[in-house]
A and B are shown apart, each in its own frame.
Chain A
Amino acid sequence: MLDFALSSLLRRKGKNLSLVAVYTLIVFSVASLLFFVQAMKRESALILEGAPGLVVQRMVAGRHDPIPLEYAGTIAGIRGVAEARPRLWGYYYEPVVGANYTILAEYDGTGAQGVVLGNGVARTRRLAVGDLVTFRTYRNESLVLPVREILPQESELAAADLVVLSEADFRTLFDFPSGRATDLAVSVPNPREIPVVAGKIAALYPDTRPITKREMLRTYDAVFDWRGGMMVVMLAGALLAFVVFAWDKATGMSAGERLEIGILKSVGWETSDVLLLKFWEGAAVSLAAFLAGVLLAYAHVFLLSAPLFEQALKGWSVLYPRFRPVPAVDGYQLAIIFFLTVAPYTVATIVPCWRAATIDPDAAMRS
């Protein structure tokens, strides 16, 4: 039966090949999108997993402001808090390459001199360990520092634009007030206690804003969902066109096909046999397209880093040219793609066949 179905497909090569091609294209775009958004979300979740449970920022007139270091001591004394660590970080615009660096200070570090550069920074400025790198401070002076280390390529996504300075250099660079930090990373061992601690901090220091990890995760998820949604809207047109196309191709039985069914019935085929045949035909077309589309999407997203909609979904600064998502596909995603594409098509082909197969073979051959 399968044999017969395949040879019947081959008899109408042109029509079926074009169908498979368009079908593959649609599966490919939907699958790429799903894979990519999922990969981004997971990447952000992985990164945030290690983030502190609670970050405390000081607000002045609703804007983020350096937080006094005394706050750290008081917050560390709250029940349930293991540690309140001041952090110093910021952004530095480098006019030479037109990029923003993320600057991080090694708070109470080992006292090591020099800077640690992210791979992207070192690449764009062609720096090697031992070279001198110049920053312009906020007092318009030059800060010349030797490069101590360059972070390895693997940390590209996380730290491409990173520059790590000593605390003293950080304060010089930004003319940062002493006795202040950018924010506080508060670690709370029991996650159930985080909202309680956040409430206490807000009551203790009304000028601060505690941000919980859960809120950060939600925000990033929402951002990626929104961007993914944008792409879906763009794809919706294409999907709709495909549905119309598939409907037309699959439901509109040509006179030839009708004749074929008539002949099959007259040589003794049951209605159920004809339906089975058509089902196999539809399944062969959609499964082939599904497999090809998913494989192509996998290659596109995970081997080629999704060049087609990188721009729309990432939109990062010039220093991130080489984001490579970690390949991972779960059954859930595949099931979504499968039911969005294969299932409707198979159903769409069966219905008209059933109509054609139930009519009198004599009438079918005559018409």
Chain B
Amino acid sequence: MRRFLLFAVLFSLALGSAAVSADKVLPAPSEKEKCAVCGMFVSKYPAWACRILFRDGSTAWFDGPKDLFTYYLDIKKYAPSRTRTDVKFLLVKDYYSTAFIDAEKAFYVVGSDVTGPMGSELIPFAKAADAKAFMKEHKGQKVLRAREVNPDALKALR
């Protein structure tokens, strides 16, 4: 019982350190934001939230990198009024730090034992070393770069 009081205080002292800087710049998804591909609520899975930032300032949210790429690779189907040139940034969350990173520079592990809200996922990492280490620990099959993520690779995850 006494220990639990202590946590309250330790918590208040610890608050500042845990926040990731990227999350301060980019707002978290609001509660009613839905994945543009599967329609699931994004805010329920904060560690998986991904987004496409368009040049006009609007955002499309996704509940995992798999859905982000599904959308991006077939943007005509999901957003007929837009093209790939309208996209400013593709952002996914690094698995270890849960901070937003550039999806086009990220490393993705497929075939691991970690599943997202939509099942098998591309697990994103900012660093190649992190991706390799994750692959070993979580029985991943291989590491993909963003340009290797094509419709066939996505199909294999379904």
Contacts and interface: CB of A to CB of B under 8 A. Distances in A.
Contacts of B20: 82, 189
A102 B1 CA distance: 11
Interface string B1-34: 1101111111111110110100000000000000
Given A50-B7, A50-B8, A50-B15, A316 B134 contact: no
B114 A162 contact: no
A161 B5 CA distance: 9
Contact of B95 (A89, A157, A190): A190
A136 interface: no
Nearest to B12: A50
B78 interface: no
Nearest to B116: A192
Most chain B beta carbons < 10 A, residue from A50, A89, A164: A50
Interface string B51-64: 00000000000000
Interface in A203-229: 216, 220, 223
Contacts of A164: 9
B91 interface: no
Interface residues of A, number: 41
A162 B5 contact: yes
A220 B4 contact: yes
Given A50-B8, A89-B6, A192 B114 contact: yes
B13 to A, nearest CB: 8
Contacts of A317: 2
Given A50-B14, A83-B17, A85-B17, A158 B5 contact: yes
A235 B141 CA distance: 58
B148 to A, nearest CB: 23
B10 to A, nearest CB: 6
Contacts of A316: 1
A115 interface: no
Given A47-B11, A89-B10, A192-B47, A80 B2 contact: no
B130 interface: yes
A188 B7 CA distance: 17
A103 B14 CA distance: 16
A85 B137 contact: no
Interface in A278-317: 315-317
A40 B1 CA distance: 11
Given A82-B97, A189-B97, A48 B17 contact: no
B11 A50 contact: yes
Given A50-B8, A51-B7, A106-B13, 5 more contacts: A50-B15, A52-B10, A89-B10, A190-B96, A316-B1
Interface of A: 44, 47-52, 79-80, 82-83, 85, 87, 89, 91, 100, 102, 104, 106, 155, 157-162, 164, 185, 187, 189-193, 196, 216, 220, 223, 315-317
Closest 5 CB pairs of A and B: A50-B11, A158-B8, A189-B98, A51-B7, A47-B8
17 contacts: A47-B5, A50-B11, A50-B12, A79-B96, A79-B134, A80-B96, A83-B18, A85-B17, A106-B13, A159-B8, A160-B5, A161-B2, A162-B9, A189-B97, A192-B47, A193-B96, A216-B7
